[in-house]
């Protein structure tokens, strides 16, 4: 009944997998090989014209965009609820989700792409690489991926990405002074949509980015301890994959630290 087109390292797909697990829903997995650009295959574009994961298929109909999929699942299977009751808290929840989609997600891509996707692309000829990247349907994403492929961590997007991460962390530290979870005392879609972006930080060994934000560190530990997270995110990172990612992330830390120095500490 429920099918998900997904990739283990995609934070957007991780969000949706956490929601499915929180609600105890059964689903069928379709792995989309992003390194091989299966997301740009004409059959996949029929389902998701933006050429990205995740895509949920329910009763034969495709639902795209991770935050929309999360809300769709919440609407269809309201229990256990992942939306606070108070309308103001719901507005706050949606604001966090929007910030994640518009800002944190491209920032995560800017840090992850040079380390994970770029090496494979650089093995292809210039013409082959260009032809693949030219197929990306949306111009801003296409241009960003071209910059990140050409310049790696030296791309201008990387400085902004580090700042977006740091600003988000400081805002979360403040929000968590007010309640146990990001928008309320109950766990919500805001927490689910943020947590995978901390998985990325952790997997590359960059957790010092929030070392002076104890509430954020504690929040992420609480997210990770949930069965939903274990089952739908942690399970996809066996020891050899974790070791490889840590190795890939190590050389980038000093560059990130350099960008962080220009940023304020929490109040």
Ligand X SMILES: N[C@@H](CCC(=O)N[C@@H](CS)C(=O)NCC(=O)O)C(=O)O
- Cβ closer to ligand X: 146 or 215? 146
What single-letter DSSP state applies at residue 91? H
- The nearest distance, CB 54 to ligand X, in angstroms, is 6
**C-alpha angle with apex 246: 224 to 225, nearest 5 degrees?**
10
Distances (CA, A) of 114 to 34, 153, 171: 14, 6, 27
- Cβ closer to ligand X: 143 or 178? 143
Q: What are the residues facing 56 on neighbouring strands? A: 4, 63
- The nearest distance, CB 64 to ligand X, in angstroms, is 7
Maximum separation of any 2 CA atoms in the chain, in Å: 54
- The nearest distance, CB 123 to ligand X, in angstroms, is 17
- Cβ closer to ligand X: 36 or 257? 36
**189-203 vs 214-225: helix axis angle to the nearest 10?**
100
* Chain positions contacting ligand X, by CB under 6 A: 10-12, 34, 39, 52-54, 65-67, 101, 105, 141
- The nearest distance, CB 121 to ligand X, in angstroms, is 10
Spatial separation of the C-alpha atoms in residues 65 and 56, rounded to whole Å:
9
- Cβ closer to ligand X: 5 or 210? 5
Burial class for 228, CB neighbours closer than 10 Å (0-12, 13-18, 19+): buried
Helix, strand, coil proportions of the chain in percent (round to 5)?
65, 5, 30
Sole residue written with tokens 């146990």: 180
3-class SS of residue 84: coil
- Cβ closer to ligand X: 19 or 34? 34
- The nearest distance, CB 71 to ligand X, in angstroms, is 12
- Cβ closer to ligand X: 87 or 140? 140
Task: Give 120-128's long-range contacts (Cβ < 8 A, gap of 24+).
Answer: 120/35, 121/149, 122/149
- The nearest distance, CB 97 to ligand X, in angstroms, is 9
């Amino acid at each position: 009944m429920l099918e998900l087109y997904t990739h283990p390292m995609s934070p957007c797909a991780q969000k949706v997998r956490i929601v499915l697990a929180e609600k105890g829903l059964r689903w069928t997995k379709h792995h989309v090989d992003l390194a091989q650009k299966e997301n740009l295959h004409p059959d996949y574009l029929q389902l998701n014209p933006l050429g990205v994961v995740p895509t949920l298929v329910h009763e034969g109909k495709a639902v795209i965009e991770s935050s929309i999929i999360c809300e769709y699942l919440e609407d269809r299977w309201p229990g256990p609820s992942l939306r606070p009751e108070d309308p103001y808290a719901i507005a706050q929840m949606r604001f966090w989700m929007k910030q994640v989609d518009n800002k944190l997600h491209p920032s995560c891509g800017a840090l992850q792409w040079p380390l994970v996707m770029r090496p494979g692309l650089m093995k292809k000829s210039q013409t082959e690489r260009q032809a693949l990247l030219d197929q990306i349907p949306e111009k801003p994403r296409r241009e960003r991926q071209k910059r990140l492929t050409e310049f790696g961590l030296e791309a201008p997007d990387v400085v902004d990405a580090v700042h977006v991460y740091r600003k988000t962390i400081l805002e979360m530290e403040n929000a968590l002074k007010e309640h146990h979870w990001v928008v309320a005392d109950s766990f919500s879609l805001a927490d689910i949509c943020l947590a995978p972006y901390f998985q990325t930080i952790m997997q590359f060994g960059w957790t010092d980015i929030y070392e002076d934000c104890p509430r954020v560190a504690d929040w992420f530990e609480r997210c990770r301890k949930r069965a939903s997270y274990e089952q739908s995110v942690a399970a996809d990172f066996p020891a050899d994959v974790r070791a490889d990612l840590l190795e890939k992330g190590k050389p980038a830390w000093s560059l990130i630290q350099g960008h962080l120095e220009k940023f304020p500490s929490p109040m």
